[in-house]
Amino acid sequence: MASESSVPPCCAASRPASEPRPVALSAPPARGDRPLKGMILLEGGVFRMGNEDELANPFDGEGPVREVKVAPFRIDPTTVTNAQFARFVKETGYVTEAERFGWSYVFHLRLPPEVAANTPAPDGTPWWRAVEGACWRAPEGPGSDVRRSQKHPVVHVSWNDAAAYAAWAGKRLPTETEWEFAARGGLDQAVYPWGDELFPRGQRRCNIWQGQGVFPDHHDGVPGPVAADSYRPNAYGLYNTVGNVWEWCDGWFDEARDRRSMRGGSFLCDDSYCNRYRVAARTANTPDSSSGNTGFRCAADA
Ligand SMILES: [Ca+2]
């Protein structure tokens, strides 16, 4: 597949192309109340987008660094939470693609070892397990729930699910340009939303892989999402752009137009494997794929 040569495997895994597709759902109606409450209004302007230094992944299209003009827009301070997504499902009856396919990808260390050992893993990304029944309301499959993680990012949502939520909320997904402008928080060409040091004065500022060992097997605890408003926000007030969960954006990754862009990296990012928790980094997945480390935040016109 051409897309595999253009992007080395990241932590994302796609639904097998051979799997029969469920019938597409019609879009739920917009909810029609005050959708912009709580959003951050950014005035836009010209900024230097992308990265081409030694940290850049040459096949990802991070570079070249270019000056880009951004019109004013609004963006959510956090990714959409389980509580917010639950309201959407309650009001519309929406059924996510993970539920309609009947499974989604769960990181192996989030499962009991005997379950992980007996659940199929995709080629190329052996740390994922295709777990039957895993979905946004049961992130580790049957028996799991989100009762104690209402403020955590909703996960196991596809790009199509994210776009449906955004339309219902009277919003939209951010473009990659908007996402990067917002995530940079006004810093010119910094590596992270807070500067160039990963741990300024020893402080942990984002939820990425934690462990003395290396991805994907040695972690200090159980790798997973934290509350969407964890850690300090950047200078524009955005939380967890880098780390926690990948965020779907409104655009195609490249001219092949088969995969949607994702930004920001996730709790699985670790230098031992992949440095895509930088603010300029990109990756992608097919629009009906879902996993336990991908969510989204919404944007809107100013
Ligand atoms: Ca993120």
Q: State pTM to two decimals.
A: 0.94
Cα 138 to ligand 1 centroid, rounded to whole Å: 21
Looking at the domain assignment, is residue 257 inside a domain?
A: yes
Q: How many residues does the chain have?
A: 302
Cα 215 to ligand 1 centroid, rounded to whole Å: 18
Q: Number of folded domains in the chain? A: 1
Cα 298 to ligand 1 centroid, rounded to whole Å: 12
Cα 114 to ligand 1 centroid, rounded to whole Å: 30
Looking at the domain assignment, is residue 8 inside a domain?
A: no
Looking at the domain assignment, is residue 175 inside a domain?
A: yes
Reduced to 3 DSSP states, what percent helix, strand and coil does the chain have, rounded to the nearest 5? 15, 20, 65
Angle among Cα 195, 198, 202 to the nearest 5 degrees reads 110
CATH code at position 202: 3.90.1580.10
d(CA 92, CA 74): 24
Q: What is the pLDDT along the chain (302 residues), one digit of tens a residue?
A: 334 444 455 678 999 999 999 988 888 888 877 778 899 999 999 999 999 999 998 889 999 999 999 999 999 999 999 999 999 999 999 999 999 999 999 999 999 999 999 999 998 888 999 999 999 999 999 999 999 999 999 999 999 999 999 999 999 999 999 999 999 999 999 999 999 999 999 999 999 988 776 778 777 778 999 999 999 999 999 999 999 999 999 999 999 999 999 999 999 988 777 889 999 999 999 999 999 999 999 999 99
Cα 180 to ligand 1 centroid, rounded to whole Å: 11
d(CA 179, CA 174): 6
Cα 255 to ligand 1 centroid, rounded to whole Å: 24
Q: What residue numbers bound the domain in which 182 lies?
A: 40-95+150-302
Q: What's the farthest any 2 CA atoms get from each other in the chain? A: 53
Cα 46 to ligand 1 centroid, rounded to whole Å: 23
d(CA 144, CA 169): 27
Looking at the domain assignment, is residue 173 inside a domain?
A: yes
